[in-house]
Amino acid sequence: MSPSLTRLDVAHPRAVVLLLHGGKESSRRPVDARSASWARMAALQRDVSPALHEAGAGTWLLRYRTRGWDGGADKVADARWALARVRSELGEVPVVLLGHSMGARTAVHVADDPAVRGVVALAPWWPVGEPVDAALGVPLRAAHGRRDRITSYAASRAFATRVVAAGGDATVRSMGWAGHYLLSRRRAWNAFATEHVLALLP
C-alpha cells in the first residue's frame, strides 16, 4: 500500500499546509477510512481549510501506509514523499506542517526540508530523548491538554525546552483540561491550529 493525499486545493496556491495524522506505537495495519486517527485529522482539515484557503493556502492531508510508528522510518519517508509531491506539482511554495500526536512526531523529523516554514503540533508525541536537530531551523508551536493520558504535556514542554536550549524557537500552550483526541474543546484546538498556521505562513 502506498501513501496518499487528501487535497483541498485553492486556485494559484501561495502555500500548502501538510496535515499529519496520529497513530499507534506499533502496528503494521494499513491506514484506511476506518482509521480513527486519520478520520480525526480529516475532520480538522475540513474545519480549518476555509480560513486557510482565504489566505491562499491549500491543505493536504497525508495518509501513511501503516498505522504504527514502528521506529519511524516509514512515517518519515511518507512525509518526505508528500513534501516532494508539493514541490513537483506546485514548485517551491512554502509549507507549514500541522501534526497531531504521532503526526507531530513525524513533523519534527522532516522540518529540515527547505520548503518547511514551521510546525504546529497538537497533543504531540515527543518521548524523552526524541531528536531535536531537524526542528531547530523553523518555529515550533505546540498545544497540549493537561488531561491527556496518551501523550504527555510535561514531555512536550521538555522537548520545547531542549529545542530552545539548542538555539531553536519553540513554545507550548496549555489547553487546560482537554484530553488527547481533539474532541473536547474542539473549537479551541481548531482556533489554535488556524491562528498559528496563519502566523507561520509568509
pLDDT of the residue at 31: 97
Res. 110 pLDDT band, cuts 50 70 90:
very high
Q: What percent of the chain has pLDDT over 90?
A: 97
pLDDT of the residue at 148: 96
pLDDT of the residue at 88: 98
Contact predicate 41/70, CB 8 Å: no
User: Is 0.85 topped by the overall pTM?
Assistant: yes
User: 72: exposed, middle or buried (C-beta count within 10 Å: 0-12, 13-18, 19+)?
Assistant: middle
How do strand 15-20 and strand 57-63 relate by DSSP bridges? parallel
Query: How many other CB atoms sit within 10 Å of the CB of residue 120?
Result: 29
What domain count does the chain have?
1
Alpha helices (H) along 18-174: 36-54, 73-90, 102-110, 153-165
Per-residue model confidence as pLDDT tens digits over 29-68:
999 988 999 999 999 999 999 999 999 999 999 999 999 9
pLDDT of the residue at 127: 96
Contact predicate 62/78, CB 8 Å: yes
H or E element in which residue 4 lies: strand 4-8
Contact predicate 138/111, CB 8 Å: yes
In the predicted structure, residue 1 carries a pLDDT above the cut 90: no
Mean confidence (pLDDT) of the chain: 97
Per-residue model confidence as pLDDT tens digits over 117-138:
999 999 999 999 999 999 999 9
pLDDT of the residue at 34: 87
pLDDT of the residue at 33: 84
Which domain, by its residues, includes 78?
4-200
pLDDT of the residue at 155: 98
From edge to edge, which strands make up the β-sheet containing 139-144?
4-8, 57-63, 15-20, 95-100, 116-122, 139-144, 169-174
pLDDT of the residue at 202: 86
In the predicted structure, residue 171 carries a pLDDT above the cut 90: yes
d(CA 187, CA 174): 15
The upper half-sphere exposure of residue 184, i.e. CA atoms within 13 Å in the direction of its Cβ, equals 12
**Average pLDDT for 143-166:** 97
CATH of the domain at 43: 3.40.50.1820
